[in-house]
Structure 1
Amino acid sequence: MPDIIRTTIGYLAAQKIKIDKNEFAFQCKSHPDYPSLLAVSDTLKFFRINNGALVVNSSEIELLPDAFIAKLKIEKSNPFFLVVKKNKLYTIKNKESNIVKVLSLEELKSIWQDMVFLVENEKQIEDTSSNNAPSYFLNFIFGSLFVYIFYTSHSNIWDLIFMVFPIIGMILSVGAFKFVLNSESEFLSKLCNLTGTSDLSEQNSNSSCNTVIRSSKWKIFEKLNFTDLSITFFSSQIMGLFFMSLYNLQAQYFSIQFSLILLSTPMIIISLYYQKFIIKSWCSICIAIILTLITEMLFLTIFNGFSLLNINFDGLAIYGLIHISILLIWSQIKKLLLAKNDLEKQEITSNRLKRNYSLFRSALTDAKRIKVPYNPICSSNLDDTLNLDILINPYCRYCKEPTKMLEKLIADYGDRIKVSYYHNIDLDTTSISNMQKLVKNLLNLRLTNKHITFSNALIDWFENKDENSWFPKYAKEFDETVVNSILESQRIWCKENKLGLTPTLFINGYQYPNIYEIKDLPYYINELLDDNSLKNDF
């Protein structure tokens, strides 16, 4: 996760603002100006978190709150740091570089660059993290059954202790593979910076792990990937011990493991040489994996002993089958993970282009501007607002999400926007349909009540679409003449402008471009509100 995103998430945590970290990172990377501070600011606004960048002189540092993001002059580092004040001392933190240093006010002034970034914690932000409870529950059940079966089939405590080593190795190996996917965690970042220096100007990021794990300076590492070897090796150890113990083949298992670890010695030496003399950078995760292998070898030598005589064809066949199965399974899982990672990168690149406001505005204003008729079904009576006019059909399933999105924008931006709903209904038919009755009652609700009452009724309909419950709850007597007059003017407007498909959205008279999805409107809303040229002559 890039530095500016890590620093911002750390700042939000310090301000006790909850946010979906993965979603925030994805939306920020999708911004056209990423990795700038503007991308962070706009993304926070998208999450309804007020924020701003300010110019603050070094003489005004003491006036700042206890936590903020500041631009500091430190070599070999991203310039934006989380600054936390406590007892007249300032702790500066750079999440990716793992820089943590306590400075006095004078020391902070010496590296100050007159820019701070602040957020407001006005209200609790909805945490949009997905609910993983079912997945956690299934993993817990699987793990519990695995441990129970493994424990009951072993009378030797040393066998149980040995299982800890491949589990640790597996966790480290999966962590190493995360660097291939560029999705490392904060724990991995800290682990990868264990070899860093204490000098503030010389500390670097976890690029050492990235450099080693993703390096292909030697052609051998193009075919013989370090992460693949470690994942399949430790996975085979775990599953091999589990299944071979069911056949009372523990002695053969440990002899096989000792032999394999001995055979891996050249690979360990090559890895250390590669890091020291070729890459000239140490990978803490790789060192930890190597130490795990050495610990396993010492454990087997001291506590289990070994003998090549314990190895026979049956043991080799079972372990070989397990290892080949894991190789095949991992090759498929890896393909899926890499494909998913590539698709995410493509989506981010595509979103940067799609969310470029200049391109969106150009597509929006390319069409002819349409004059929309007066409509009392609107969220505001103010004139100097951003007008969002939408043609909907209550029975159209595609209108549900745009309607909910617009009502959410009304809740977030209030009178800064005016949302109006239009309908294309033929009143000349002899029979009165349920859609006519529904639309007329909705219109009457807005004529006789505040927008919130109309909004609740509209959302209730789209959520349930139950005529038997909706009409008794919201239907009232109304003046047919007034309601029919408004609906007839909307029908004529639709006919004159050849409008029939729903939903159709207009922004200050410009029809929403077909190449963009209506659900993406929130990404442009702040810039639309600031774009006064769209309001000219409207």
Structure 2
Amino acid sequence: MDELVFRFLVQSKITSLAKEDIHLQLLSHADYPSINAITDTLDYFGIENIAANVPKDALQQLPKLFLALIETGKNTELVLVTQLQKGIRVRTLQNKKKIRSIEKFSSQWTGTIIAIEQEEKKGSFITRQSSFKTIITTSILLSIIVMALLFTTSISHAVYTFLTVIGSVVSYLIYKESTGVKDTVTSKVCAIVSLKVDSCSAVITSKEGRISKNVGLGDASLLYFTSLFFVITLVGVHTSTLFTIAIGSLFVVAYSLYLQGIQLKQWCGLCLLISVVLISQFVTLFIAFSNWDFSLLYVIKGLVVSMTLTLLWFYSKPLLQKNKELLKTKKEYLSFKRNDAFFLNALQQDSIENLKHLPQEAQVYFGNRDAPIQITAYTNPLCGYCVAAFELYDRLLMQFPTDVGIQFIFNTSKDLENPSTQIAKRVLELYHKSVSDAFSALKDWFAHRDVDRWIEKYGIPNSMLLMDDRILEMHRDVAHQNDIRYTPETLIGNQKFPNKYYTYEDLFLFVETLKENAPIEIKHQMNSNKNKKSPVVTRL
């Protein structure tokens, strides 16, 4: 499922999200695999989405790209749908593509879709570091390969180098498979030669396929081809020496075929591909070979390079294994962390009894007053930590306009000339004239936190409006009565957000949980509002 979701995001031009992050968020969801797991993950990363049941006759009115559920016999399957000029292209969980007519697709389609905006929001907190690292790593590797090819002295040497690169890539896939990391390319290659899904894994991880306890086929193959590549790049090509190695590799090919065909009776597509590369290298050097010319210096240099790489590999391998274990621990931690019962229990640990409220005329309120999730945000414009909290409030109001209502309480200085008081008072003035202007001013402040710039743009408060001074005093009094001493402080109902266990971004994991656990009177109000409408499209 994560591969399909990742492809969905990439084709929707949302490319800054790390595949690993999607994998962790999906797998740690309590309802994985499900529609809910996908939508909650998209919500968490700030990607506006909708899951809905749509009438089948509205198919051509839907976006060009979306996820859908189709019926396959007695089961339903998630697929990625692309609408073409004449037909529908469907990509399955097995990464198989099929072109179907609109009529055939409609007959299988359940009507359920997940659609997203095909443009990444600038306000999204999605990290771009992974994309940057990928670009840098790819550029370095391509530069090394190009340099290696440029320094070759003949076509046969260039072909040999190219085959070495292919061998290194395939060896990397074998290593990934040996560690239990699944890959789409691996699945495709293995599916060509065997109908069994786990045929490659069975051969690669078999006891017979291991050289020793700590060295498997993946290690040996990866070390062999990477050592060859760096010897060619750093030392050069010595045909006689490399041809001797190629002759020895034919025995490895013979053993590999014997192991798969006779002993294990299973075929591994990646292993066969390595055999093809080794045979091709032998043929290439055989054609280029003219006479035996032994070079002790070349052998010594080659051994130094190979031994250096081997030592580096076996030094870094435990770190890679620890990283894998860390990812597993992280997944388990996320699964535990996003447990609804644990979150609600943590939320209830710090409740404010007899919570004091502001009268409505003194409130600074944004969002839906009848929303199931009611948040009270205690803030101070000069509070640096309040920036992250405000980004949370902004995203919540943007993504869940009907589900969230937020009241701001300014816990500012009593000094009327203090910048925090001046900014809060000016926001109050704007709020009385336009709610949206007041929110824009707050958003602008927390985005830049430059007093002179902000005052130049929005002006200073009117010192004659004593009522606003009184309102700010009421804000401070309510904060004091509720024993709110520091900002930011976020209340959900009368319960403090558990900052000890969760970050503000984590709140997006529990929006549905909070809606389901809304007070009975709010649920009744929501249901009465829903009964007034009969929408054609039903949100899930």
Query: Same fold by TM-score, threshold 0.5 exceeded?
Result: yes
Q: 2:439 aligns with which of 455, 473, 498?
A: 455
Structure 1 residues 28 and 159, CA, compared in 2 at 3 Å: closer, same or farther? Answer: same
For residues 288 and 306 of structure 1, the distance between their equivalents in structure 2, rounded to whole angstroms, comes to: 29
Partner letter of residue 356 of structure 1?
N
- In the other structure, the counterpart of 1:339 is 322
Residues 1:465 and 2:456 are matched in the alignment: no
Of residues 219, 235, 241, the one that matches 2:232 is 241
User: Which one of the candidate residues 224, 234, 248 is aligned to 2:215?
Assistant: 224
For residue 50 of structure 1, give the secondary structure of its aligned residue in structure 2.
strand
3-state SS in 2 of match to 1:414: coil
Structure 1 pair 404–91 and aligned structure 2 pair: CA distance change class (3 A): closer
Map 1:194-233 to 2 at 5 A.
194-197=192-195, 205=197, 207-216=198-207, 220=211, 222-233=213-224
Task: State the partner residue of 2:395.
Answer: 408
Residue 481 (structure 1) shift: 2.6
Query: Residue in 1 aligned with 2:531?
Result: none
What are structure 1's unaligned runs of at least 5 residues?
55-59, 198-203
Sequence identity of aligned pairs in percent? 21
Cα contact 2:381–2:446 (8 A) shared by 1: yes
Counterparts of 1:94-109 in structure 2 under 5 Å? 94-96=92-94, 98-99=95-96
Query: Residues 485-520 of structure 1: CA distance to partner in whole angstroms, max 9, x if unpaired?
Result: 222223222223322122211112211123222221
**Structure 2, unaligned stretches of length 5 or more?**
526-540
Separation in structure 1 between the aligned mates of residue 189 and residue 421 of structure 2, nearest angstrom? 65
Q: For residues 134 and 84 of structure 2, what CA distance do their matches in structure 1 show?
A: 40
Q: Which residue of 2 aligns with 1:329?
A: 312
Tell me if structure 1 keeps the 8 A contact 2:246–2:282.
yes
Between 1 and 2, higher relative CO (CA 8 Å, sep ≥ 6) is seen in 2
1:162 aligned counterpart, secondary structure? helix
Q: Shift of residue 51 of structure 1?
A: 1.0
Q: Give runs of aligned pairs for residues 349-388 of structure 1, distance below 5 A.
A: 349-370=332-353, 371-374=355-358, 375-380=362-367, 382-388=369-375
1:518 to 492, 504, 507: 504
Please tell me the root mean square deviation across aligned C-alpha atoms, in Å: 3.8
For residue 289 of structure 2, the aligned residue among 304, 329, 332 is 304
Offset of 1:242 from its aligned partner? 2.0
Instruction: Identify if the C-alpha distance between structure 1 residues 32 and 260 changes in structure 2 by more than 3 Å, giving closer, same or farther.
Output: same
Letter in 2 for 1:527: T
Measured in 2, the distance between the counterparts of 1:494 and 1:352 equals 35
Secondary structure of the 2:284 match is helix
Match of 2:519 in 1: 533
The 1:147/1:21 distance shift into structure 2, 3 A limit, reads closer
How far apart are 1:188 and its partner, in Å? 3.3
Structure 2 CA distance for partners of 1:218 and 1:170, relative to 1, 3 Å: closer
Give the corresponding residue for 1:201: none
Aligned residues: 506
Partner of 1:200: none
Q: Find the partner of 2:3 among 3, 6, 14.
A: 6
**What does the per-residue CA deviation read over 1:338-392, in whole Å, with 9 as the maximum and x for residues that have no partner?**
3333222221221111112232123223443452422522214634442111222
- After superposition, the C-alpha distances for 1:87-144 in whole angstroms (9 at most, x for unaligned) are 9988764333x5556789999899x6x8553123566454957264686368547744
Q: Tell me what 1:119 maps to.
A: 114
Q: 2:467 aligns with which of 477, 482, 505?
A: 482
8 Å Cα contact 2:156-2:284 kept in structure 1: no
Which digits, 9 at most, give the CA deviation of each residue in 1:393-451, with x for residues without a partner? 32222211111121121122224311122232342x5x83222223322333323322x
- 8 Å CA contact 2:375, 2:406 repeated in 1: yes
Mapped contact 2:194–2:267 kept (Cα < 8 A): no
The structure 2 residue matched to 1:156, chosen from 127, 143, 154, is 154
Taking the aligned partners of 1:376 and 1:389, their CA distance within structure 2 comes to: 10
Aligned residues of 1:70 and 1:83 also touching (Cα < 8 A):
no
What is the identity, as a one-letter code, of the residue corresponding to 2:471?
I
CA distance in 1, matches of 2:442, 2:405: 16
Q: Is 1:48 equivalent to 2:48 in the alignment?
A: yes
Structure 1 residues 443 and 92, CA gap change in structure 2 (3 angstroms): closer
**What residue is the counterpart of 1:35 in the other structure?**
33
Alignment of 1:217-296 (within 5 A): 220=211, 222-245=213-236, 250-251=237-238, 254-296=239-281
Contact 1:48–1:125 (8 Å) recurs in 2: no
Instruction: Give CA-to-partner distance per residue, 1:223-244, whole Å, 9 cap, x none.
Output: 3211111111111111111222
- Are the equivalent residues in 2 in contact too, given 1:84–1:92 (CA < 8 A)? yes
TM normalised by structure 2 equals 0.80
- Report which stretch shifted further, 377-386 or 23-32: 377-386
1:394 aligns with 2:381: yes
